[in-house]
Amino acid sequence: MKYILKKTLMMLITLIVVSMLVFLAFNIIPGDPAARRLGTEATPQQLAALRKEMGLTDPLFVRYIRWATGFIHGDLGQSYSYGSVSKLLIDKIPITISMALMAFLIMVVVSIPLGIFTARHQGSVVDHVLLVVDQVVMAIPPFFSGILLTLIFGLTFRLFVPGSFVSWKTDMRGFISYLIFPAIAVALPKIAMSVKLLRGSVIEEMRKDYTRTAYSRGNTVRGVLYLHVLKNALIPVITFMGMALADMVSGSIVIEQVFSIPGLGRMLLVSINNRDYPVVQAIIMGVAILVMIVNWMVDIIYRIIDPRIESL
Amino acid sequence: MRKKNIAILTVLSTLAIALSGCSGDKTANPSSTSEQTTGAEANGADSKADASKDSKARTDEEKNATLTVGIPQDLDGLDPHIVKAAGTREVLFNVYEGLVKPDSEGNINPAVASEYKVSEDGKTYTFTIRDGVKFHNDAVVTADDVVFSLNRYKETGASIFENVKSIEKADDKTVKIELNEANSEFITYMTVAIMPKDYKLADSMPVGTGPYKYVSRSPQENVVLEKFDDYWDADNAAHIGHVVFKIESNPDSVVMDLEGGSIDMFARVTSTQEAQLSKENFETYKGSMNLVQALYLNNESKPFNDVKVRQALCYAVDPSEIMSFVSDGEGYEVGSAMFPAFKKYFMEELNDVYKKDTDKAKKLLKEAGYPNGFSFTITVPSNYTQHVDTAEVIAEELKEIGVTAKIQQVEWNTWLENVYNGRKFESTVVGIDASTLNASSLLARYQSDSSGNFINFKNDDFDKKFKEALATVDDDKQTSAYKECEKILAQQAASVYIQDLPSFVVLNKKFTGYQFYPLYAQDIAKIRLAN
Are the beta carbons of B249 and A37 separated by less than 8 Å? Answer: no
Residues forming beta bridges with residue B117, ordered by sequence position: B126
The last residue of one of the domains, among A90, A125, A143, is A90
* Pair (A58, A156) in one structural domain: no
Closest C-alpha to A75, from A278, A290, A275: A278
User: For the CA atoms of chain B, what is the radius of gyration?
Assistant: 26
Residue B369 pLDDT grade (very low, low, confident, very high; cuts 50, 70, 90): very high
Do A12 and A161 reside in the same domain of the chain?
Answer: no
- B252 or B309: which leads in pLDDT: B309
Q: How many CB pairs under 8 A join A and B?
A: 150
CB atoms within 10 A of CB B263: 27
Q: What per-residue confidence (pLDDT) applies to B46?
A: 46
Residue B506: its H or E element: strand B502-508
Question: Residue B426: which of B462, B394, B385, B393 has the closest Cα?
Answer: B394
Q: Which residues of A touch B412 (CB under 8 A)?
A: 36, 273
Q: Which of B262, B417, B435 sits opposite A30 (nearest CB)?
A: B417
Last residue of a domain, one of A71, A90, A109: A90
**Cα separation, A267 vs A283, whole angstroms:** 9
* Residue A310 pLDDT level (bands cut at 50, 70, 90): low
Q: Is residue A280, in this structure, part of any structural domain at all? A: no
Total count of domains within chain A? 2
Q: Which amino acid is at B188?
A: T
SS3 B221: coil
The answer on A201 and A143 residing in a single domain is yes
Determine, yes or no, domain membership for A230: yes
In A, which residues are within 8 Å of B253 by CB distance? 162-163, 258, 260
Q: What is the pLDDT of residues A110-165, one digit of tens each?
A: 999 999 999 988 889 999 999 999 999 999 998 899 989 988 888 788 888 887 88
**Measured between CB atoms, which of A45, A133, A164 is closest to B157?**
A45
pLDDT tens-digit readout, B189-225: 999 999 999 998 988 899 999 999 999 998 888 999 9
**B218:A258 CB<8 A:** no
Q: Per-residue pLDDT averaged across A198-207, rounded?
A: 91
Please, what is the Cα angle at B520 between B221 and B447, to 5 degrees? 130
Rounded to a whole number, what is the distance in Å from the CA of A186 to chain B's nearest CA?
16
Alpha carbon distances (Å) from A198 to A203, A233, A238, B240, B412: 8, 7, 10, 57, 46
Report pLDDT for A103.
Answer: 94
The answer, for A38 touching chain B at a CB cutoff of 8 Å, is yes
The Cα angle at residue B225 between residues B221 and B230, in degrees rounded to 5: 170
A26, A32, A81: best mutation site toward chain B, by most B Cβ within 10 Å? A81
Q: Are residues A149 and A248 in the same domain?
A: yes
The answer, yes or no, to whether residue B23 has pLDDT greater than 80, is: no
Alpha-carbon span A216 to A219, nearest angstrom: 7
Which is nearest to B279 in space by CA: B523, B40, B65?
Answer: B40
- Classify residue A267: in a domain, yes or no: no
B83-135: pLDDT as tens digits: 877 888 899 999 999 999 998 888 889 999 999 999 988 889 999 999 999 99
Residue B138's alpha-carbon distances to A256, B210, B213, B228, in angstroms, are 40, 12, 11, 10
On whether both A116 and A215 belong to a single domain, the answer is yes
For residue A45, tell me if it sits in a domain: yes
Q: Which residues contact residue A10 at a Cβ distance below 8 angstroms, ignoring those fewer than 6 apart?
A: none
> What is the model's pTM?
0.80
Contact check, Cβ <8 Å, A262/B219: yes
* Residue numbers of A between 87 and 126 with CB closer than 8 Å to B: 88, 91-92, 117, 121, 126
pLDDT digits (tens, 9 = 90+) for A79-116: 887 888 988 898 889 999 999 999 999 999 999 999 99
Same domain, A232 and A97: yes
Minimum Cα–Cα distance from B222: chain A residue = A262
Alpha carbon distance B463, B455 (integer Å): 15
CB contact (8 A) between residue B218 and residue A130: no
A213 in the same domain as A137: yes
Shared domain for A155 and A176, answered yes or no, is yes
Does residue A205 sit in the same domain as residue A141? Answer: yes
Domain boundary among A22, A57, A90: A90
Mean pLDDT over each residue of chain A, to the nearest integer: 85
- Is residue A297 situated within a structural domain? no
Q: What is the DSSP string of B98-110?
A: -SEEE-TTS-EEE
Task: Say which of A37, A41, A260 has its CB closest to residue B248.
Answer: A260
What confidence category does residue A55 fall into, taking pLDDT thresholds of 50, 70 and 90?
confident
Q: Find chain B residues with C-beta within 8 A of A154's C-beta.
A: 256, 260
Q: Which of A12-16, A119-123, A276-280, B63-67 has the highest mean pLDDT?
A: B63-67
Cβ contact, residue pair A156, B32, below 8 Å: yes
Section B438-453 average pLDDT: 90
Do the Cβ atoms of A150 and B256 come within 8 Å? yes
Q: Would residue A282 count as lying in a domain?
A: no
Check the CA dihedral B255-B256-B261-B266 and report its sign.
negative
CB B243 within 8 A of CB B70: no
Name the residue range of residue A254's domain: 93-262
pLDDT band for A309, please (50, 70, 90 cuts).
low
Nearest to A164 among B262, B416, B418 (CB): B262
Q: Identify which of B22, B218, B435 has the shortest CB distance to residue A41.
A: B435
Task: Give yes or no: residues A65 and A103 share one domain.
Answer: no
How far from chain centre, in Å, is Cα B462?
27
Q: Which of A243, A279, A254 is nearest to A93 (CA)?
A: A279
The CATH number of residue A198's host domain is 1.10.3720.10
- For residue A287, tell me if it sits in a domain: no
State the Cα torsion B203-B209-B213-B219 to the nearest 10°.
Answer: -20
* Sequence-ordered strand ranges (E) for chain A: 78-79, 83-84
In terms of domains, do A48 and A102 share one? Answer: no
- More confidently predicted of B136 and A66: B136
Phi and psi angles of residue A262, each rounded to the nearest 5 degrees, phi first: -80, 60
Residue (of B490, B79, B27) closest to B255 by Cα position: B27
pLDDT confidence band for A302 (50 / 70 / 90) = confident
Query: Does residue A86 share a domain with residue A201?
Result: no
